[in-house]
Chain A
Amino acid sequence: MAVAEVTDAVPTAPLRSNRRRVVRRILHNPLALTGLAVLAIAVILAVFANWLAPHEPTQTHLDRAFAPPGTAGYLLGTDDLGRDVLSRIMFGLRASLHVGVLAVAFSLVVGVPLGLIAGYFRTVDALISRLTDLVLAFPFLILAVGLAAIRGASLGNAAIAIGIAQIPGMIRIVRSETLRIKSLDFVAAAIVEGASDAWVLGRHIFPNAGSAIIVQATVGIPAAILGEAVLSFLGLGIQPPAPSLGTMLADAQQFASRAPWAAVMPGVAIMLLTLAFNIVGDSLRDALDPKASRR
């Protein structure tokens, strides 16, 4: 769920040399373009929600409760308190993207250096592996439960819990890429020439692991978005009345037979968002994979 499926660390060509080829491959893939378009729309709706949303997301109008979709001024209908479902979805998308980006950024900041170190210095590899196992022993929901108990439920704590849960996957990918690149001739040559460890890691290994890291981050975001929805649904994430797609679903569960649209629409929004991210991530992985033409 919140933990991204660990992508196969396909041997990828250096990032910079084939950037143009990657862009060309993406632009010639209609599915990838559709995914990018959906993402662009979602980002615009979320970022400019203040101006684009037809209503205040938290404004209640009890006289307009349970208005079905298509009611004048309420394209997607209203919920039990007469709040506009469309406006709440726009602000909910903002919260989802916020948590998604925050969680993945957290896993990048912690996971990438640890992965590089674990792959490069064999002496600390075992230690980092044990720490990874330790984090894995706490499923993300249990982590989130613990964090919510200690620090309270909030958007930030949800992002931290999801981010922590994604660190092991990130370490694993970066570590295996580091091991692979370290064994290549040009790295051995640099070491023989007397390059320092920091130079080799920063100048040779990190840039060449870039594409694998980007792919892992791309699949991490939709996983984090689903994770946020789950946590908010359970009441462990974003707190009402702040709009989140997860809390909208939790509310809607109470009156789902009366106003099914309030339960259907936020779920469709989450699905489209994560689907678009997953499609873009898949296309990116194929485009970065030198073997992809074979498949």
Chain B
Amino acid sequence: MRRYLLNRLWQSAVTLVLATIVVFAGVRALPGDPALALAGEDRDPESLRAIREQYGLDQSWLVQFWQFVSHAARGDLGQSIRTGTPVRSMIMSALPVTIELSVLAILIASVIGVGAGVIAAVRRGRPAEWAANALALLGLSVPHFWLGLMAILYLSVALGLFPASGFVPFFSNPVANLHHLILPALILGTGLSAVIMRQTRSSMLDALSADYIRTAEAKGLPPKAVVGKHALRNSLIVVVTIVGLQLGALISGAVVTERIFALPGFGKLTVDAVFQRDYPVIQAVVLVTATAYIVINLLVDLLYSVIDPRIRVRGEA
């Protein structure tokens, strides 16, 4: 276990360093002189030189990279070119929205996905399986941002069931907060639930034909206990795996969902930064996303090996 842990930590560290290099190199590959962009209207050579000095742009790449890393490690991600606001505080105010949205979406996806997957596996060859499969296929195929548009058009605007856009912080009004977030979370969650459903169904089918299930049945356990006990354990692994594998899709999905429902989250920050060519913000956003992805994947893998001991053995091989 310890060897697996160390090995996995080492891998994550290497990936993180590589990701930082990619972000740094990517920003240097941006068209145009960053000093010109920072100077804005002011093209006077004297102030350009001052800017180069201030941001260390006159230093060698190696020095610049070191400054970038050491600043980032201290949480200093620079300032927005447009507003002068520290990027760190922009991210800090956007992140809770996205995290809450994602967590709600994962919860919804797990409930729908595991439920439908278990039903499809247990009711094999019956209409229930057919319906669950059809829904999963539809869930994989439908463009979710379009589903969001339709939900706003028909549920929010026409029927007035939900607010069409906007956000209320959880701590100022929890009820209004959920009321604003439930529709976006449902839209984001349904896509994920299709993947979870299919995986749950196939691992349940494998499990149900396994010997230990036959043993459980033979010794007279009621079917509900057989399915419930073994299904629960299996689907827990499935959900954890999918969340790890689909994290990228979840982040991308959150960006689009926030855009449609006008939520002031990480996604909106990202897209706005691209359109405003706000390079320090783009750089920070990409770095934070990559770091979050690597850290969450590490946690998922560790959690995975706690739930399923076989992984540890295979990971060491």
Q: A278, B279: Cβ atoms under 8 Å? A: no
Q: A136, B248: Cβ atoms under 8 Å? A: yes
Q: Is B18 interfacial (CB 8 A cutoff)?
A: yes
Q: A267, B146: Cβ atoms under 8 Å? A: yes
Given A142-B251, A145-B270, A222-B141, A233:B256 Cβ within 8 A = yes
Contact of A149 among B18, B30, B150 (CB under 8 A): B30
Q: Is B237 interfacial (CB 8 A cutoff)?
A: no
- Closest Cβ–Cβ distance, residue B286 to chain A (whole Å): 6
Q: Is B104 interfacial (CB 8 A cutoff)?
A: no
Q: B248, A145: Cβ atoms under 8 Å? A: no
Given A230-B256, A275-B141, A263:B248 Cβ within 8 A = no
Within 8 A of B (CB), among A137-173: 137-142, 145-146, 148-150, 165
Q: B274, A236: Cβ atoms under 8 Å? A: yes
Q: B153, A149: Cβ atoms under 8 Å? A: no
Q: With A and B bound together, what is the CA distance between A128 and B71 in angstroms?
A: 30
Q: B249, A149: Cβ atoms under 8 Å? A: no
Q: Which residues of B are found within 8 Å of A138, using beta-carbon distances?
A: 19, 22, 248, 286, 289-290, 293
Q: A-facing mask of B152-177, CB < 8 A → 1, else 0?
A: 11000110000000000000000000
Q: Is B137 interfacial (CB 8 A cutoff)?
A: yes
Contact of A2 among B26, B150, B252 (CB under 8 A): B252
Contact of B195 among A2, A5, A249, A275 (CB under 8 A): A5
Q: A141, B11: Cβ atoms under 8 Å? A: no
Q: B150, A264: Cβ atoms under 8 Å? A: yes
Counting from the closest, the 8 A-B pairs by CB-CB distance are: A267-B146, A141-B252, A139-B248, A275-B141, A274-B141, A139-B251, A137-B290, A133-B15
- What are some 25 contacts across the A-B interface (CB < 8 A)? A1-B144, A1-B252, A130-B11, A130-B14, A134-B19, A137-B15, A137-B294, A138-B290, A142-B286, A142-B289, A145-B274, A148-B274, A149-B30, A149-B274, A149-B279, A229-B146, A234-B255, A235-B271, A253-B260, A256-B153, A257-B153, A263-B146, A263-B153, A271-B142, A295-B205
Which A residues are closer than 8 A to B by beta carbons? 1-3, 5-6, 8, 130, 133-134, 136-142, 145-146, 148-150, 165, 222, 226, 229-230, 233-236, 249, 252-253, 256-257, 260, 263-264, 266-267, 270-271, 274-275, 277-279, 282, 295
Which B residues are closer than 8 A to A by beta carbons? 11, 14-16, 18-19, 22, 26, 29-31, 137-138, 140-147, 149-150, 152-153, 157-158, 191, 195, 198, 202, 205, 245, 247-249, 251-253, 255-256, 259-260, 270-271, 274-275, 277, 279, 282, 285-286, 289-290, 293-294, 297
